[in-house]
Amino acid sequence: MKMFRLTPGKRVLFLTKDPALITQQLQGKLDLRMDALHAEDLLDDVNTDAMTPAWACFDWRPADIAVNAYAGLSVNGERLFPANALKNGNFEVIVSGRRKGTGSSRETAVQAEKWSGIRLAVADSFAPIHARNNINQGVLMSSYSLLARLQAGEAIGLDEFCPDYDPITRAIVMAGGLFPFGRALAAGQVQLPTRNCPTRPMTMGEKMVGAHLLPGQGPTAVRPGDAVLVKVDSGYSHEFTTAQVHAFLEEEFGADYRVADATNFAVFEDHLIYADGVERMAPYSAKIAVLRSMQRAFQVHTGVRDYSAREGRSPGICHQVAREEFINPGMLVQATDSHTCMGGGNNALSFGVGATEYAALIQCGFTMLRVPESIRFELHGKLQPGVTAKDAMLWILWQYAAKGLTLDRVMEFGGPGLAGLDMDERATLANMATECTAKSGICEGDEQTVQWIASRRGVSEASVRAQLVHPDAGATYAGGVHIIDLSTLKPMVATPGDPAAGVPSDPTNGAFIEALGVVKIDIAYGGSCTAGKDTDLDHYALVVREALAAGLRVADGVQFMIQCGSQAVEAHVDRNGYRELFERAGVQLIGAGCGACIGCGPGVSTTAQQVTISAINRNFQGRSGPGQLYLASPLSVAASAFTGRISAYSEGMFQRI
């Protein structure tokens, strides 16, 4: 039995809620013990933006990334972790609170720890993609009780670090990571588990997994916890991740490596398309150029579908273009970004993976998957005017995700109320499943799904209809079935630092005054994959048109920026005359790309004092500049741009100003 013990002379770093204690540990002035601490002393929601902010990901070599481990964790605008602080501290264990690794799927967060010497990550719970990245990279995870035993000098068998793991995941841990496991599997040294799941009613996620099983694994019926090998229909990477995918494949399979089916996979140039225009990105221009060139080299080498920028214009954000062009009902999609789950709006099972896992799956065309549990949201009623799907998701984050009910589960959206949401609004529901630390989000398909996809693909409605997946009657939902009356929801805003820190509007006047006070803004930003779709642009235009009719322009001292999610959305803007409308109101319209959402484009705050209200999906510290970042719907963002303070939109509101 392989054993794990703490290395004599190595240290344990506790990420405490008191930053002074972290600083003392980094400086070598303090060593803490698990048996002297309480779980509530530890920092919760340590997100991947804090572990490796976007600019730190411009280094694609893991050893270089480790230099800036935890560079996004700051106090009063100052880095808590100086360069090389984690590595120089001689730590091999790092400890935090609940939901470690929320946010972006970036595997760089794990690499920063591993290449700084971390062998074991300890937390109350881990976000699912981050946990998978730890497993694939060979970094162990454990509970507080195991750490206390280790600090007491005990040696612990590796089997105790994976008590709830399926047999395949356990084999990956024992092998030391995904690539060593793959080599053992190819050499016939791994015995895959046998399955004998009886026919049972299944959720949408379970049915989609079952339909993708590789032959020889028993019946197509599956249940949560089953470890299976599944064929992946499609996937993609972008210029923040492709360089690592390319390098890992060369290292593992040689310079002449091949991928299984290039036409099913793609590369996108979307995240850094506007980085050159952001002043704080200037020091990284050479590194960004390397990332772009390595992605192009990967595309030429493999022949995957090419969504590179042309003459400085991106085709669009990968998730938006994917749903427009190639994600169909029932598909299984994996890509190197946490918002891959947006494809669930098309009635598909889509979710993000790290660069290591993506490299492995595109080389062979299949991957290992543990069947996830599900939680169902039955939507009833109809959203009131001024309320959007973004408000619904901020409400679900506030009421369900904050309690951990969605953690690592597939969020199903169905019920009669879903019919009242168009395909763009459904995409918002699926997109923000990752903010709920869910595995994915899936919307039930219907005739609206069929017509929307068929019209964009140039295929028959019958062919799309045949692909729709519905849950079986009597399916089991470990997270429960929750009825949401859409008609009772109010506009929501999430306060800085946490998408789940929701505040509903005051029902008496449609504003957030009672809960927040008057919050003056400097920036209003509408865009991202979450809020740069056709319907989102319709929402911005509705508010702008009403403001102009009331004789208003964007409030003095406020920058209002709207960014399209794809070139197809830009065409929608031009067809409807929105470009001229926005110009008259003083709105800056930006072409397709991720931009400020990833901290790399117009709309990024420049000082800690600036306040932004944004329609993007997450508002972790430093996500979109150093300022205070509030999340809201496209309607509320647009309304706030004209009032100069955080406001909920209501029809006729500008006539009352």
User: Quick one: 125 and 246 in the same domain?
Assistant: no
Q: Worst-scoring range by mean pLDDT, 468-482, 514-528, 554-568?
A: 514-528
In the chain the first and final C-alpha atoms are separated, in Å, by 72
The answer to whether residue 320 scores a pLDDT higher than 90 is: yes
Angle between helices 355-364 and 128-137 (to 10 degrees): 70
Alpha-helical (H) ranges within 158-284 are: 167-175, 178-186, 204-210, 242-253
Q: Is the dihedral of CA 199, 202, 207, 209 positive or negative?
A: negative
Identify the band that residue 275 occupies on the pLDDT scale cut at 50, 70 and 90: confident
Using CA atoms, how far residue 79 sits from 68, 393, 416, 622, in Å, is 10, 32, 49, 11
Q: Worst-scoring range by mean pLDDT, 194-203, 252-261, 334-343, 507-516?
A: 507-516
Q: Give the mean pLDDT of the chain.
A: 94
Is residue 387 included in any domain, yes or no? no
Identify the band that residue 513 occupies on the pLDDT scale cut at 50, 70 and 90: low
User: Quick one: 259 and 359 in the same domain?
Assistant: yes
Is residue 36 included in any domain, yes or no? yes
CATH code where residue 83 lies: 3.20.19.10
Is residue 470 included in any domain, yes or no? no
User: Quick one: 56 and 128 in the same domain?
Assistant: yes
Residue 589: its pLDDT value, please? 97
Q: Considering 370, 401, 423, which residue would you say is the last residue of a domain?
A: 370
User: Quick one: 46 and 142 in the same domain?
Assistant: yes
CATH code where residue 510 lies: 3.30.499.10
User: Quick one: 244 and 155 in the same domain?
Assistant: no
User: Quick one: 106 and 234 in the same domain?
Assistant: no
User: Quick one: 121 and 260 in the same domain?
Assistant: no
The answer to whether residue 605 scores a pLDDT higher than 90 is: yes
* Count of the separate structural domains present in the chain: 3
The answer to whether residue 104 scores a pLDDT higher than 90 is: no
Query: CA–CA separation, 103 vs 418, rounded Å?
Result: 26
User: Quick one: 34 and 118 in the same domain?
Assistant: yes
Is residue 393 included in any domain, yes or no? no
Residue 194: its pLDDT value, please? 77
Q: Considering 330, 349, 370, which residue would you say is the last residue of a domain?
A: 370
Is residue 405 included in any domain, yes or no? no
User: Quick one: 240 and 116 in the same domain?
Assistant: no
Residues of the chain above pLDDT 90, percent: 80
pLDDT tens digits, 456-477: 999 999 999 999 999 999 999 9
User: Quick one: 41 and 135 in the same domain?
Assistant: yes
The answer to whether residue 293 scores a pLDDT higher than 80 is: yes
pLDDT tens digits, 197-214: 999 999 999 999 999 998
**Structure-block tokens of residue 521:** 């803004």
502-504 and 588-590 as β-strands: parallel, antiparallel, unpaired?
Answer: unpaired
Is residue 436 included in any domain, yes or no? no
Identify the band that residue 193 occupies on the pLDDT scale cut at 50, 70 and 90: confident
Query: CA–CA separation, 634 vs 630, rounded Å?
Result: 12
Domain residue limits at 619: 492-657
Q: Name the more confident of 164 and 373.
A: 373
Q: Considering 183, 209, 240, which residue would you say is the last residue of a domain?
A: 183
User: Quick one: 156 and 248 in the same domain?
Assistant: no
User: Among residues 359, 340, 358, which one has the least CA distance to residue 350?
Assistant: 340
Residue 561: its pLDDT value, please? 97
Is residue 636 included in any domain, yes or no? yes
The answer to whether residue 507 scores a pLDDT higher than 70 is: no
Is residue 257 included in any domain, yes or no? yes
Residue 77: its pLDDT value, please? 82
The answer to whether residue 142 scores a pLDDT higher than 70 is: yes
632, containing H or E segment: strand 628-632
Identify the band that residue 657 occupies on the pLDDT scale cut at 50, 70 and 90: low
Give the predicted TM-score (pTM) of the model. 0.88
Residue 189: its pLDDT value, please? 82
Q: Is the dihedral of CA 203, 205, 206, 211 positive or negative?
A: positive
- Specify whether the CB–CB gap between 143 and 113 falls below 8 A: no
Q: Worst-scoring range by mean pLDDT, 51-60, 115-124, 185-194, 197-206?
A: 185-194
Query: CA–CA separation, 334 vs 105, rounded Å?
Result: 11
Using CA atoms, how far residue 86 sits from 71, 297, 299, 517, in Å, is 10, 33, 35, 40
User: Quick one: 242 and 159 in the same domain?
Assistant: no
